[in-house]
Amino acid sequence: MEISEEHYYDYPEYENNSSNFSYDDYQTICEKGDVRSFARIFLPAVFGLSLVLGLAGNALVVAVYAYCKQLKTMTDTFILHLAVADLLLLLTLPFWAADAVHGWNLGVTVCKLVSALYTINFTCSMMLLAHISMDQYLSLRPEARNRGLARAFQKKHCGKLCLVVWTVAFCLGVPDLVFSTVKELPHKKSCIAMYPSDMALRAKASLEVVEIVIGFLLPLLVMLFCYTCVGRALLKLPQERRWRKWRSIRVLLVMVGVFVVTQLPYNVVKFCRAVDIVYMFVTHCGVSKELDRATQITESLALTHCCLNPVLYTCVGSSFRQHVLKCAKDFGDRGRRLAHAREQQEVDISLNSHSQSQDTSTFSI
């Protein structure tokens, strides 16, 4: 995650047009103090809100599954791993908020770890969403599990699938772990990835594109295919189940809609930045500033998905809802037992005190 930094811009297009050429314009510095001022206010506010809401929701998911100690379906397992990934991602936000306000003062090691954790868990979260949609599709069409790739989506292979997801996400986080460092800028220190000069442009642009494909395009295509098939199957249900059918379809539409609304803007801006790294089509300081602000806003919007995941993706896990109800019932029963025991203790104390009072009166007489 990069806030902003000054850039030098050359203007070769003026070389063949002497009437518009100015030596003052040939090489300029794009000073981005206003972008950094915006980040100092906007990012800590959004990150703080996301941290509070996200920690509450995802911690509840982890606590419920830890209390029940049983994962009945593959969707339950994927939701648990999704909650863990979102929690780890959210825990990096205070570091980036502090970086936006004060600069990076925590050293190179913490910079590498936080950068890698951010990329790993963000990518892992998006990939797990695709796995949830695939399992929902196969649960509605169990005959498909015996064909091709669908054979892997069996409960006995669930651990292996999660391991593959985390491994792929870790591989995408390795460049941040290796190349992230603390760079001394004129205005402050910043934690950014610094690639070797002979590979900087292509490596950074290629990594951006790979993250877009694996973290957005692939999950989006899987979700669209799976939920379209699920929707068609729901439409074929008997008329007497129409209310439940349309309710399920609305849930699917909301999940896809929220994914597109939160992730599409960020990935479009990310793709524009990747193209700019290679072809340098942004040659105007004002455009560069707007692109930086767009990155900050759309990336913050993308992070809100971590707060919405506990609400959205527990809707498709019927066993999770059963776990929640069971936990609520157990806590309610435990509360009633404690209240009853407390009342009984108070009654016993009252009777004992009354008995002692009578004994004392008799003795005094």
User: Domain ranges in the chain?
Assistant: 7-316, 328-358
State the CATH architecture for 7-316.
Up-down Bundle (1.20)
Q: What is the pLDDT along the chain (365 residues), one digit of tens a residue?
A: 655 554 444 333 333 333 333 334 334 567 777 888 888 899 899 999 999 999 988 888 888 877 766 666 788 888 889 999 999 999 999 999 988 888 888 889 999 999 999 999 999 998 998 888 888 788 776 555 556 556 666 667 788 888 999 999 999 999 889 888 888 877 788 888 887 776 667 778 888 888 899 989 999 999 888 888 887 877 777 766 666 666 667 777 888 888 899 999 999 999 988 888 877 777 788 888 888 888 899 999 998 888 888 887 766 555 566 666 666 666 666 656 665 556 666 555 555 554 544 443 332 32
Q: How far lies 329's CA from each of 324, 333, 334, in Å?
A: 8, 6, 8
Q: What does the pLDDT read at residue 359?
A: 44
Q: What does the pLDDT read at residue 64?
A: 81
Q: What does the pLDDT read at residue 336?
A: 63
Looking at the DSSP bridge assignments, the partners of residue 189 are: 184
Q: How far lies 40's CA from each of 34, 100, 256, in Å?
A: 10, 5, 32
